[in-house]
């Protein structure tokens, strides 16, 4: 009996010294998704970021939205999706349909809850840019970071006069000095 008790006590000491009995919590990941929209500071909450695998291709997506505290549930949302190529840093934000019938590129949306008020798509402009670098922090978590800029115009096929009373943005929106750092969903 004494030998068994002694063995349990020694095992406990060895395991507690190795840190096996306690699991350390990882520090919170410091993410951000911010830009200037028509000259005003905007900071959104990155709702989704990560990769989707389609056959041999890798689709990268990152989206962020911001609720207006005075006009809740009004929100505006910025999103990017494109086929990721390892070691490529700069991507086009112009929208196009790919071989998988997915539409890639960028967009800006104004919403009232679940209802879309207006959709905006990038115009062909020099300000349009998107960069991405995939990194790993000291805890092994993968994250994406980069910069972006957009000049978007309201989608004429979706612009409905009944929605204009709710729109907060003009027909053309400039998104400048965009920066993001977001944890990748694996």
- Residue 21: its pLDDT value, please? 43
Q: Residue 124 corresponds to which tokens in the numbers above?
A: 């062909």
Q: What is the pLDDT of residues 27-57, one digit of tens each?
A: 888 899 999 999 999 999 986 688 887 777 8
SS3 101: coil
Q: Tokens 């997506």 sit at which residue?
A: 61
- CB contact at 8 A, 63 and 77: yes
- Residue 95: its pLDDT value, please? 82
Query: Residue 21 has what DSSP assignment?
Result: S
Buried b / exposed e along 72-108 (16+ C-beta atoms within 10 A): eebbbbbbbbbbbeeeeeebebeeeeeeeeeebbbbb
- Residue 8: its pLDDT value, please? 47
Indicate if the pLDDT at residue 78 is higher than 70: yes
- In this prediction the pTM is 0.78
CA distances from 161 to 73, 136, 165 (A): 20, 47, 8
Query: Residue 71 has what DSSP assignment?
Result: S
Look over the chain and give the mean of its residue pLDDT values, rounded to a whole number: 81
- CB contact at 8 A, 59 and 184: no
Q: What is the pLDDT of residues 87-108, one digit of tens each?
A: 899 988 988 776 666 678 899 9
Q: Tokens 């990882």 sit at which residue?
A: 26
Q: Tokens 């800029």 sit at which residue?
A: 149
- CB contact at 8 A, 110 and 167: yes
Q: What is the pLDDT of residues 110-127, one digit of tens each?
A: 888 888 888 889 998 888
Q: Residue 65 corresponds to which tokens in the numbers above?
A: 């939205």
Q: Percent of the chain, pLDDT > 90?
A: 35
């Amino acid at each position: 009996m004494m030998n068994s008790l002694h063995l349990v006590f020694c095992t406990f000491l060895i395991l507690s010294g190795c840190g096996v009995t306690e699991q350390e919590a990882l520090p919170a990941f410091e993410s951000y998704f911010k830009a200037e929209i028509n000259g005003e500071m905007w900071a959104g909450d990155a709702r989704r970021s990560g990769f989707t695998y389609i056959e041999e291709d890798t689709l990268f997506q990152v989206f962020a939205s911001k609720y207006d505290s005075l006009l809740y549930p009004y929100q505006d949302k910025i999103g990017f999706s494109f086929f990721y190529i390892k070691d490529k840093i700069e991507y086009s934000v112009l929208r196009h349909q790919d071989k998988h019938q997915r539409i890639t590129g960028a967009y800006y949306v104004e919403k009232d809850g679940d209802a879309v008020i207006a959709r905006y798509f990038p115009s062909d402009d020099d300000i349009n840019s998107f960069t991405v670098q995939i990194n790993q922090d000291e805890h092994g978590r993968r994250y994406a970071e980069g910069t972006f800029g957009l000049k978007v115009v309201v989608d004429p096929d979706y612009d409905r006069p009944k929605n204009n009373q709710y729109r907060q943005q003009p027909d053309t929106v400039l998104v400048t000095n965009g920066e993001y750092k977001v944890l990748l969903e694996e």
